[in-house]
Amino acid sequence: MAWWIHFLFYNKHYDTLKEGRGFVGLYQVLVRYLHDRFINVVYIILSVLTYLYLFLSVLTFFFARHVPPVFSSIVETLSEPYLGALGVYIIVREIEKRRGYIRSNRKEHFIFFWLLFSIIATLLISFSEYYYANELYKTIVTNTLATIIIRIGMLVR
């Protein structure tokens, strides 16, 4: 069993689980599944977080007048943790690819989406009176460049 089981069940329930009472069969299947596919689970979680952050950034930039002002602060605050998670995502993806769980020709579409988003944001800031360069735009450009640099780093290997 994993080391965190003792913390989850505070040792007293752990002995009951070892004896085979309750939903132990289901529990054991779940624990075994997570243990065997931990990297897959991390990959899926980081994939979802990557696209959610991108969606939040797009929503905040294009609909700044219609979303609460706190969205801009959230995007800026999560920028650095996002880049760290993105680095872990790329590493986990490479691990999965080498294990044979992921096809090697599968592309990360979020890189294309960040680049497209950055280009559209730059054009709007350059030619529209309703959009202007601010901290959110700086975050968008930073995330786009970091995403591209991280991906190039993985291609070099």
17 and 50 share a domain?
A: no
Distance CA 59, CA 88 (A): 25
CA atoms of 96 and 89, how far apart (whole Å): 10
67 with 23, same domain: the answer is no
pLDDT at 8: 45
My answer on whether 134 and 73 are in the same domain is: yes
> Alpha-carbon distance 77 to 75, whole Å?
6
Q: Domain count of the chain?
A: 2
Q: Please indicate, yes or no, whether residues 57 and 2 belong to a single structural domain of this protein.
A: no
Same domain, 7 and 64: no
Check whether residue 84 and residue 28 sit in a common domain. Answer: no
Same domain for 56 and 32, yes or no, is no
Position 50 scores a pLDDT of 86
Looking at the structure, do residues 77 and 130 belong to the same domain, yes or no? Answer: yes
| pLDDT value for 35 | 76
80 and 149: one domain? yes
Residue 151 CA to residue 110 CA, distance in Å, equals 11
Q: Which domain does 2 fall in, by range?
A: 1-36
C-alpha distances out from residue 52 to 58, 94, 110, 122, 127, Å: 10, 21, 10, 21, 28
Q: What is the pLDDT of residue 7?
A: 40
Same domain, 80 and 138: yes
Supply the DSSP symbol for 66.
T
- The answer to whether residues 5 and 60 belong to one domain is no
Angle at which helices 38-62 and 24-36 cross, to 10°: 80
Residues 74 and 8 in one domain: no
Give the chain's radius of gyration (CA, Å).
21
Q: What local confidence, expressed as pLDDT, does residue 107 receive?
A: 63
CA proximity to 142, closest of 65, 62, 95, 86: 86
pLDDT tens for the chain, 157 residues: list them. Answer: 444 444 444 444 444 445 555 556 677 777 787 777 787 777 788 888 888 999 999 999 999 889 998 999 999 999 999 888 888 877 777 777 777 766 655 567 888 999 999 999 999 999 998 898 999 999 999 999 998 888 787 777 6
pLDDT attached to residue 104:
55
Q: Full-prediction pTM beyond 0.75?
A: no
> What's the pLDDT score for residue 93?
76
Measure the CA dihedral 5/8/9/14, to 10°: -10
